[in-house]
Amino acid sequence: MFSLIEPHLPILQVIVPLIAAPLCALFGNRHLAWVIAFTAASISFGIACLLLASVLDGSIISYEIGGWAPPWGIEYRVDAANAFLLLIVSLIGAIVLPYARRSIEKEFDRSTHTYFYVCYLLCLTGLLGVAITGDAFNVFVFLEISSLSTYALVAFGADRDKRALTAAYNYLIMGTIGATFFVIGLGLLYMMTGTLNMVDLSERLAALGDNRAVHVGYVFILVGLGLKLAMFPLHLWLPNAYTYAPSAITAFLAATATKVAVYVLLRFIFSIFGFEFSFETLTLEYVVMPLAIIAMFAASIAAVFQEDIKRLLAYSSIAQIGYILLGVTLLNHTGLTAGIIHLFNHAVTKGALFLAVGCFVYQIGSSRLSDLKGMGRLMPWTSAAIVIGGLSLIGVPLTVGFISKWYLISASLEAGSLFIAGLIVMSSLIAVVYVWRMVETLYLEPAPAGRQKGEAPLSMLIPTWTLIAACLYFGVNSELTSSAASQAAHAFLPPQQIVSGGAGQ
């Protein structure tokens, strides 16, 4: 039986949540919708594990949609890089759902819960689709599926705070501009090469040589994706969107959406334009790297002065994206590994932190630091999760944050820049300040009189602590993540042999 399903795993990865979404909408009942959503997300996670296991040896799975051979048809192409990303996205997708069930009951009206799950599944479909497809235009389609459902998901926060609507609208405008830039860039590449398949595109671009239209296309794609992944200074949509979205969605988005956009950027930089594209190397070195370093400092400093813990973590996310981009722009294998491993590590850390903040919101209805005074004694488990997550943001040993920083610093030393290594350490020190602000508020300030001791429900604590446990486990035993990230970094360099999947033609 399994041998029949196995060749179709790449497509099932995407269509399981896709089909679950309209089923949720049809049945209409929020309990049933949750069951369907959770089942679909779990199956997706299982498929992602199987796919990663089969490509870790460096092989590539290619799946032809509709039986049309690439480059004419749409091809789904799984290598170590996107299999790792599929694992991240589907893991977070499956962990957040059990949490969301109780969390959203307190945050918005029950009549809309079914549609929340529908949007959630569509968002998951889009993110998985972006990661798995080998067709450049298909990336745009899935990016829009995930973005449009994200705008709706952010707006669900409006029952708690009306500002969610302006945040969602702002995100919609910025995200749409980003998508437009991306598709303009794609149009230019299509004009020059006449193909949209990524492998074919990279071969034809290499044959084309240096060309002004290709330069313009590349810049459009870089800026468009920069908007989507909140690259400094294109990050302005992010703090509000993360602050006012429902807690479960903030955790889901922080851990997946920007990561997927980073992956697309990597795919374009390394697989499509190719490493030797000199114009690309120049922009990465003189534009993206300084911006990444500014993001590390500016966003961390902004985080220090925030009054709302969700907004504080949102600014910290922008800084973390800076670290990822810095790793990538070092343009060596260790740097790329550092960037990719930080994708996973930051997803786990930030996911856990936002889930923990959601527990506070569930219990006391606020995420403002001034309302969280003394919660360390009233909600010990949630507060401990914040502390461990915070330590990981700083990069303390035994947490995943340390592994990322370790790789980043070795990469910058490998690139011969002691200066950059120093900057990484310095920006980590700013992280100490904002993490300490949280710890100080939670543990050292007296709780307001009359507030009862009480933890969030177990269905919320268990997902939070699962991610915290992952944060610690992969911080001690980084064997799996670092080998997957290193393999992924290899996948972005020269093409390897292809294992054909799908039914025989």
Partner 1 sequence: MEHHFILRVISKMLIPPIMLYALYVQFHGDFGPGGGFQAGVIFAVAFILYAIVFGVETLTLVCPPAVLRAGMALGVLLYAGTGVYSLLRGYNYLDYAALAEPGHAEHGQHLGILLVEGGVGLTVASAMIAIFVAFASRSPDIKDTDW
Residues that bind partner 1 (CB under 8 A): 4, 8, 11, 15, 18-19, 21-23, 25-26, 63-67, 502-503
Task: Tell me the C-alpha distance between 371 and 379, whole Å.
Answer: 13
Among residues 129 and 322, whose Cβ is nearest to partner 1?
A: 129
Nearer to partner 1, 76 or 344 (CB): 76
Cα radius of gyration rounded to whole Å, the chain:
22
- How far is CA 219 from each of CA 264, 265, 396, rounded to the nearest angstrom? 14, 11, 37
Indicate the residue among 166 and 459 with the shorter CB distance to partner 1: 166
Provide, rounded to whole angstroms, the least separation between the CB of residue 97 and partner 1.
20
State the minimum distance, in angstroms, from the CB of residue 31 to partner 1.
18
Alpha-carbon span 268 to 328, nearest angstrom: 12
Nearer to partner 1, 418 or 498 (CB): 498
- Min. distance of Cβ 162 from partner 1 in angstroms? 11
The distance of closest approach from Cβ of residue 61 to partner 1 in the complex, given in angstroms and rounded to an integer, is 13
Q: 206-230 burial by CB neighbour count: b if 16+ within 10 A, else e?
A: eeeeeeeebeebbbbbbbbbbbbbb
194: left (phi over 0), alpha (psi -120 to 50) or beta: left
Closer residue to partner 1 (CB): 12 or 491: 12
Task: Map residue 61 onto helix, strand or coil.
Answer: strand
Residue indicated by tokens 């786990």: 348
Q: How far is the CB of 82 from partner 1 (least distance, A)?
A: 18
Name which of 46 and 502 has its Cβ closer to partner 1.
502
Smallest distance from partner 1 to CB 185, Å: 24
Residue 376 tokens read as 């360390």
What angle in degrees, to the nearest 10, is found between the helix axes of 247-266 and 237-244? 150
Identify the DSSP state of 77: E
Nearer to partner 1, 63 or 84 (CB): 63
Residue 88 CB, nearest approach to partner 1 (Å): 24
**Of residues 28 and 397, the one with the C-beta less far from partner 1:** 28
Q: Work out how close the CB of 66 gets to partner 1 at its nearest, in angstroms, rounded to a whole number.
A: 4
Residues forming a β-bridge with 368: 308
CA distances 459 to 99, 102, 231, 420, 472, Å, are 6, 7, 34, 42, 21
What's the distance, Cα to Cα, between the start and end of the chain in Å? 21
